[in-house]
Amino acid sequence: MYDALVIGGGIMGCTTALHLARGGMRVAVIERRGLCMEASGVNAGTLSLQIKRKELMPYALKGWELWKTASDWLGDGVGFHQLGGLTLAFTDDEAELLENKMRERAEAGAPIEFVHRDRAREIEPGLSNHPVLASFCPLDGYAQSNEIGRAYRAALIGAGVQVFERSTVSSIEKIGANFAVTFGGNTKQARRLTLAGGAWLGRLGALLGVELPVEYRVNQVSVTERIRPILRTIIGVVSDPLSTKEGPALGTSLVGTLTLKQSSNGTVLIGGGWQGIGDLDRGGYQIRPEYLIGNLRQAHYAIPALADARVARTWCGVEGHVPDFMPLAGPIPGVENAFVVGCCRGGFTIGPYLGRILAQRILGQEPEMPLFDPGRFAPAPLVDSVGAGRP
């Protein structure tokens, strides 16, 4: 019998479990694959405050701080680097969009300033002469997402958490006050349950008999071979990622999403949310070549030296979201002692903090910052035939 079971061993589930164990609970994490092998381990690793929604900025600043101090609470080897980041506008319309967005984000607490082309090229000598305006945030950086599974495994085991990997949860039952969770031939019971299944949260909710309106996107990321140093900063371009579900269309212009950075080993990571094809049931992902080319063209338009770089690998990862694109983090309405965490845009940056404040709530403490009520999507209460309950 455990005090808490966590289903899903991505960044959200692992962080929640870690803090619960450090808070004195007996905890197990149950993960279908290996720890941080889905979104949490295949993402672009960008810790950019410039691409966070203003409503989430206080959480992003806390998440950034946690990455910076990861050696204190998670362990070594996550490769945090603070490089500073530039977000570029190539046209006057984009410059206006950039001004509006970054002003909001600066008001929300991110240290962002506007810089004109010449200053931007001093900060990043590899930049093309196409940008008309840029914004700069000295805090932007990255961490090595492909290393974090190893770091979390060591931290969880060190904190006494039992970790079940290659273990797919197939049923959840309520037996009295306990949850009985079945995976493979195993059933484990606990007083408290946290669903942290990323893009699969809708399916996990269904096992518990609750509806979580989770959809997903399939993001493409590419990495080049090792090349000479051509980049000092994190590069992005201004765009509205919520404007289309499919990602930027090829041929419309070079406007779209971009994140670009060179790792200390010389490889350049090119991402930004261009959409591949994936299927949660089948488990496979497929690159869309036309979007890969669009993403590469956009990167090259910003940093001309990329013309010399060959792409070594392109892959996809799946990211869950709910209709308002805000996180789920809190108690599941109607099921006592059941909680959910996930569906956070920029969840690599913010995830460690969301897991921490959810764990505070589960431990019976007041979370440092407000949680994100998963009950906000519940259907409106039914009204009776004479209209009782109507406003």
Ligand X SMILES: Cc1cc2nc3c(=O)[nH]c(=O)nc-3n(C[C@H](O)[C@H](O)[C@H](O)COP(=O)(O)OP(=O)(O)OC[C@H]3O[C@@H](n4cnc5c(N)ncnc54)[C@H](O)[C@@H]3O)c2cc1C
- Per the listing, tokens 């063209």 go with 297
Q: If binding is defined by CB under 6 A, does position 179 make contact with ligand X?
A: no
State yes or no: residue 271 binds ligand X (CB under 6 A): yes
CA distances in angstroms from 66 to 50, 59, 112, 242, listed in the order given: 17, 11, 20, 27
Specify which residues 141 forms β-bridges with. 47, 82
| Of positions 16, 46, 222, 239, contacts ligand X by CB under 6 A | 46
**Nearer residue to ligand X within complex by CB, 61 or 133:** 61
30 binds ligand X (CB under 6 A): yes
- Interface residues for ligand X in 318-377 (CB under 6 A)? 318-319, 342, 344, 346-349, 351
The radius of gyration computed from the CA coordinates of the chain, to the nearest angstrom, equals: 21
Q: Which is nearer to ligand X, 132 or 180 (CB)?
A: 180
Residue 91 or 267: which CB sits closer to ligand X? Answer: 267
Distance in Å, CB of 243 to ligand X, minimum: 18
Contact call for residue 140 and ligand X (CB under 6 A): no
**Total residues interacting with ligand X, rule: CB under 6 A:** 42
Burial-class residue 207 by CB neighbours within 10 Å (0-12, 13-18, 19+). Answer: middle
In the complex, the smallest distance separating the C-beta of residue 12 from ligand X, rounded to whole angstroms, is: 4
Distance CA 208, CA 327 (A): 19
Determine, following the binding rule CB under 6 A, whether residue 11 of this chain makes contact with ligand X: yes
Token pair recorded at residue 246: 């499919």
259, HSE (Cβ side, Cα atoms, 13 Å): 27
- Binding to ligand X (CB under 6 A) within 229-258 occurs at none
| Phi, psi of 193, rounded to the nearest 5 degrees | -135, 135
Strand duo 2-7 + 27-30: pairing = parallel
Q: Which residues bind ligand X (CB under 6 A)?
A: 7-13, 30-33, 37-40, 42-46, 168-169, 196-200, 204, 219, 221, 259, 271, 317-319, 342, 344, 346-349, 351
